[in-house]
Amino acid sequence: MNWELFVAVRYLIAKRRERFISIISLISIAGVAVGVGVLIIVIAVMSGFDTDLREKIIGTNSHIIIEGEYGVDGISELSRQIQRVKHVTATAPFVYGQAMVMRAQETMGILVRGVDPKQEGRVSKLGSYMKTGNVDLENNGCVIGNELAKRLNLKIGQRITLISPASTIGEEFQVRGIFSSGMYMYDANLIYVGLPQAQGLFGLGSRTSGIAVKIDDALRVLKVKAAVRDALKGYSYSIRSWMDLDKNLITALRLEKIMMFIVVGMIVLVACFNIGSSLIMMVMEKTKDIGILRSIGATAGSIRRIFLLEGLIIGGAGTALGFAFGLTVVRHINPIAHSIESLTGFSFFPPDIYYFSRIPALIGLFDMSCIAGFALAASLVATLYPSHQAARLDPVEALRYE
């Protein structure tokens, strides 16, 4: 073991005349541990929300959507062009538009999406979202969201009438399935019908509204979107990614995650101030020891490193304890939340507001590395002043009155 590290460890664990300094060191470790632990929990939950939202958006739509202002012709050739782009795994045509749904005396505006069930299954998760029934769109079958079904009091086998702006004559459809995507805006406003029926409903003939595109990695979507745009150069198509569909919400979540990191990170900074204050008092207590070390040949750099190492040991111990605390809570966050709810009756996330029954939490390696780096860097910065002051001590002055 390096002698500087040996001295730093001895200073931390040896009995001191001033027990108050030891108490401050323990408080510093506890403060860093609490700060790091809370930071891990908050960032894990925010990352979980982000991932959950992304999965719901992609599950109902697709990674990339290509639309034409007046529809898209030549779907087969266009699909072949798109599928030549690297990372594209599947494509599916669709029709999308606004319509009125009529059920008994109830009338409301909804969104209609016409799809081919076989092709749609390759670009979205509609099949896995089915709550009851199945994706049977043949012979004027339709699939509706569970919230819309509740509002219109619809069950499997019942019929609805759809009226589009292109035709004042209503067309009757039979409910064959009810889906639940986990996104209220889709579950309360979206109806799936067959592609040919949607083309007739909106008067598109052989045209479609656009093409849905799936890629092999959702996080690579911006790069693939640019490649698709290059492949379709010369066509006046609108190309949107899943990030563009709910851009404001995704941006707000990302900003909230950054702000939460900053706010909760202040706890770590306050704990690091305690590290600095405990080292300052330790330097005052160890003035004679520093003088002796300097007199027998220790350099100013060695003295500085001793106290830098002490601060890093305190910060490292707090970070390790914080990781143990934070990761334990994250892995058992739902049982903990359910226990608190059963004891207090307080619901952290009411299902009718947040639309999910469990707290999503995701532990990311990058996030954990940033938290550990931030805590250790803050601990190191807190040691700079006391270690510099210790290195400046004149051995003659330190031992003059001893």
pTM of the model: 0.74
Q: What is the block-wise mean pLDDT of the chain (402 residues), using blocks of 10 residues?
A: 70 60 76 89 86 79 86 85 91 92 85 92 88 90 92 91 84 92 85 92 88 89 90 84 79 82 84 80 74 74 81 87 91 80 70 66 85 89 83 65 53
pLDDT value of position 280: 79
pLDDT in tens, 185-211: 888 899 999 999 999 898 888 889 999
Q: Which residues 6+ apart lie within 8 Å of 94 measured at CB?
A: 113, 114, 115, 120, 195, 208, 209, 210, 211, 212
Write out the E strands in 32-170.
Answer: 64-72, 88-103, 106-115, 130-133, 141-145, 159-163
CA separation for the pair 183, 195 (Å, rounded): 23
Cβ proximity of 149 and 106 under 8 Å:
no
pLDDT in tens, 252-290: 778 888 888 888 888 888 888 888 887 777 777 777 777
pLDDT value of position 192: 95
Burial of 21 (0-12, 13-18, 19+ CB in 10 A): buried
b/e sequence 243-279, b meaning 16+ C-beta within 10 Å: beebeeebeebeeebeebbeebbebbbebbebbbbbb
